[in-house]
């Protein structure tokens, strides 16, 4: 059984990696790039609670939640990519040796339930915490912000070193080209705030120093949710009379789910990894299907005080964020991706997984995680940074990979008509305007067929007295969609000569209606 579980973990992890690396423009894989995010029951429940509407993209997460009622935490033991990474990295750490019967502490176990309660209370008050702790979002964010840029840097360094050795040059470059054909970035993607994402991910890994699967045992709110719904599951660890009370199963259980006496299993903790079945020297343990016998299992052990405390804490924090005094709508200077829902609905739905940032990095590369530009409530939500990149006119991928529908799915043709914002010239920095010299860069790059940037040629008198004909660019507001390529390509050093604001910005309601900021009184509340 252990082999079967390992094969399952490996296959699901490879699928996760495959979809992650293939999430590039143009996306041509039959499976959705955000398959694992859609399969997260926590993201599903939190986004439905927060938006108070059925979110069709998260059906798979609901199916897994429903399956966990009879099957328990199978997702944790057999599928979750973060769980697989933790199983691999936990081997790196040396922990104090324990003797048989010396059980690890279970004191911190209730933390994950407290966190789950706070998340659900927050979601109910339309404040989304789930994405910060959802394991699939955690690992997707870490791979996007840290692993991918790091791998690209390492590969670039190797290629430039090996490429200098004449007999390795050809083979090195053809191997690198092949890598890029299968989705490896051609340029190192840079994600703002990646250091914090790295530190938090490393903390999760390093907690393995204290116990195996520390995160899963004590902190993971998804594990808490699945453990709670699956505590009366129909799959049971059964111990036969061949048991000699050697205690090896309890010693080796990565989830500390076997109670003293070795017969009783804490079903809310057991992830059905089957290690106890394989490790038992007497072959006394088996897994059976059937109604649970009360003598062989125990469910959730909740510390009520902590749960009530976290309910109060989560409710207070959520209330503070929802009334806006810590800046829920504090700034609208940064653009949202094309197709984003109106701000309040966007904040309710977005699980901060950064899948859109990942896929955008392979095309226009404008999307970045917000720090505080969109208020505390918008931390790590995607915003467009036009100096960093632009929204590619022929791309609609962020909407296709958003697991919770925070970005509306649009066809390329519909997306090309969505106004993200409007560009304006900064005449104190734009070359024709302040230096009286021609510069056609923005006009040439503007992707709108009728050109949203046009040029008007006028004579100007220079300080020397000479008259020169200069082409002055201007924006046709009604045509501009705010894609920002003019900003990205502007050759002016530092602050560009053109910038995009959220003026005329269009958003979508959860029902799919397009609305313009100034036309909708309730917009963004
Ligand atoms: S407890 Fe959380 S991180 Fe661990 S395996 Fe389960 S879902 Fe994944
Ligand atoms: S922001 Fe634009 S370029 Fe980036 S993924 Fe979305 S549609 Fe594509
Ligand atoms: S943002 Fe710039 S490039 Fe894009 S449509 Fe507007 S003017 Fe054209």
Which residue CA neighbors atom 4 of ligand 1 most closely? 216
Mutational pocket test of ligand 2: of 27, 366, 389, the residue with most ligand atoms within 8 Å of the beta carbon: 366
Please give the pLDDT value at position 312: 79
For residue 85 and ligand 1, the question of a CB distance below 6 A is answered with no
- What pLDDT, on a 0 to 100 scale, did the predictor assign at position 158? 86
Burial of 159 (0-12, 13-18, 19+ CB in 10 A): middle
Question: Quick one: 135 exposed, middle or buried, by C-beta within 10 A (0-12, 13-18, 19+)?
Answer: buried
The answer to whether residue 9 scores a pLDDT higher than 60 is yes
Q: Which ligand is nearest to the CA of 389?
A: 2
Q: How far apart are CA 478 and CA 518, in angstroms?
A: 15
Spatial CB neighbours of 313, under 8 Å, sequence gap ≥ 6: 118
Residue 80 beta carbon below 6 angstroms from any ligand 1 atom? yes
Atom of ligand 3 lying closest to residue 451 CA? 8
Average of per-residue pLDDT values in the chain: 90
Residues 336 and 367: their CA atoms lie apart, in Å, by 8
Q: Could you read off the pLDDT of 41-83 as tens digits, one per residue?
A: 999 999 999 888 899 999 999 999 999 999 999 999 999 999 9
The predicted pLDDT at position 482 comes to 97
Ligand that comes closest to the CA of residue 445: 3
Q: Which ligand number lies closest to the CA of residue 390?
A: 2
* Ligand 3 center to 237 CA (angstroms): 62
User: Which residue, judged by its Cα, is nearest atom 8 of ligand 2?
Assistant: 395
Q: Is there an atom of ligand 2 within 6 Å of 397 CB?
A: yes
Residue 72 φ then ψ, to 5°: 70, -150
Whether the Cβ atoms of residue 68 and residue 229 lie closer than 8 Å to each other:
yes
Q: Which residue has the higher pLDDT, 523 or 460?
A: 460
> Is the peptide bond between 26 and the residue preceding it cis, with omega within 30 degrees of 0?
yes
Residue 471: its pLDDT value, please? 97
Distance 88 CA to ligand 1 centre (A): 14
| Secondary structure of residue 158 in the 3-state scheme | helix
**Ligand 1 pocket member 83 (CB < 6 A):** yes
Residue nearest to atom 8 of ligand 3 (CA): 446
Q: Which of 55-59, 167-171, 267-271 has the lowest mean pLDDT?
A: 167-171
Q: Is 364 in the pocket of ligand 2 (CB under 6 A)?
A: yes
Q: In the predicted model, what is the mean pLDDT of residues 426-441?
A: 95
């Amino acid at each position: 059984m252990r082999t079967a579980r390992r094969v399952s973990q490996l296959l699901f992890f490879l699928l996760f990696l495959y979809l992650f690396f293939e999430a590039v423009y143009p996306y041509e894989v039959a499976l959705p790039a955000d398959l694992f995010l859609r399969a997260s029951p926590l993201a599903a429940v939190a986004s439905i609670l927060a938006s108070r509407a059925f979110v069709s993209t998260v059906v798979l997460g609901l199916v897994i939640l429903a399956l966990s009622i009879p099957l328990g935490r199978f997702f944790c033991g057999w599928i979750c990519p973060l769980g697989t990474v933790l199983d691999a990295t936990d081997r790196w750490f040396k922990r104090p040796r324990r003797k048989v019967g010396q059980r690890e502490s279970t004191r911190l176990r209730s933390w994950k339930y407290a966190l789950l309660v706070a998340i659900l209370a927050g979601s109910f008050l339309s404040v989304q915490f789930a994405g910060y702790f959802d394991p699939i979002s955690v690992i997707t964010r870490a791979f996007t912000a840290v692993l991918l840029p790091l791998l690209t840097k390492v590969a670039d360094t190797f290629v430039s070193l090996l490429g200098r050795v004449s007999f390795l040059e050809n083979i090195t470059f053809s191997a690198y080209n092949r890598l890029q054909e299968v989705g490896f970035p051609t340029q190192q993607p840079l994600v703002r705030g990646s250091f914090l994402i790295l530190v938090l991910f490393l903390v999760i890994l390093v907690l393995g120093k204290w116990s195996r699967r520390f995160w899963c045992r004590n902190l993971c709110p998804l594990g808490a949710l699945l453990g709670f719904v699956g505590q009366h599951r129909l799959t049971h660890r059964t111990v036969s009379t061949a048991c000699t009370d050697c205690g090896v199963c309890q010693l080796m259980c990565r989830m500390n789910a076997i109670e003293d006496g070795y017969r009783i299993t804490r079903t809310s903790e057991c992830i059905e990894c089957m290690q106890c079945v394989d490790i038992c020297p007497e072959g006394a343990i088996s897994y059976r299907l059937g109604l649970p016998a009360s003598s062989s299992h125990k469910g959730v052990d909740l510390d009520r005080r902590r749960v009530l405390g976290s309910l109060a804490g989560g409710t207070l924090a959520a209330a503070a964020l929802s009334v806006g005094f810590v800046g829920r709508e504090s700034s609208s200077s940064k653009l949202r991706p094309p197709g984003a829902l109106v701000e309040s609905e966007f904040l309710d739905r977005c699980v901060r997984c950064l899948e859109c940032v990942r896929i955008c990095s392979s095309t226009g590369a404008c999307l970045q995680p917000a720090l505080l530009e969109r208020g505390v409530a918008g931390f790590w939500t995607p915003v467009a940074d036009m100096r960093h990149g632009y929204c590619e006119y022929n791309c609609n991928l962020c909407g296709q990979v958003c697991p919770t529908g925070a970005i509306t799915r649009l066809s390329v043709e519909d997306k090309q008509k969505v106004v993200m914002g409007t560009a304006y010239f900064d005449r104190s920095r734009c070359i024709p305007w302040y230096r009286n010299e021609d510069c056609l860069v923005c006009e040439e790059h503007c992707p709108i067929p009728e050109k949203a940037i046009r040029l008007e040629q006028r004579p100007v008198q220079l300080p020397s007295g000479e008259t020169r004909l200069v082409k002055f660019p201007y924006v046709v507001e009604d045509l501009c969609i705010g894609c920002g390529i003019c900003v990205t390509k502007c050759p002016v050093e530092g602050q560009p000569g053109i910038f995009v604001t959220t003026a005329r910005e269009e958003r979508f309601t959860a029902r799919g209606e397009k609305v313009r900021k100034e036309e909708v009184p309730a917009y963004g509340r």
